[in-house]
Amino acid sequence: MLKFFKIIALLEGISLLALFFFAMPMKRLFGHPEFQFPVGMAHGLLFIVYIILAVMLKFEKDWSAKKLAIIAVASIIPFGTFYIEKKYLQNA
Do residues 27 and 33 touch, judged by C-beta distance below 8 A? yes
Please write the tens of the pLDDT for every residue from 56-75.
999 999 999 999 999 999 99
pTM for the whole structure: 0.91
Please write the tens of the pLDDT for every residue from 2-57.
999 999 999 999 999 999 999 999 999 999 999 999 999 999 999 999 999 999 99
What pLDDT sits at residue 19? 96
Distance CA 42, CA 84 (A): 21
- Write down the H helix ranges in the chain: 2-18, 24-28, 36-61, 65-74, 80-84
What pLDDT sits at residue 2? 92
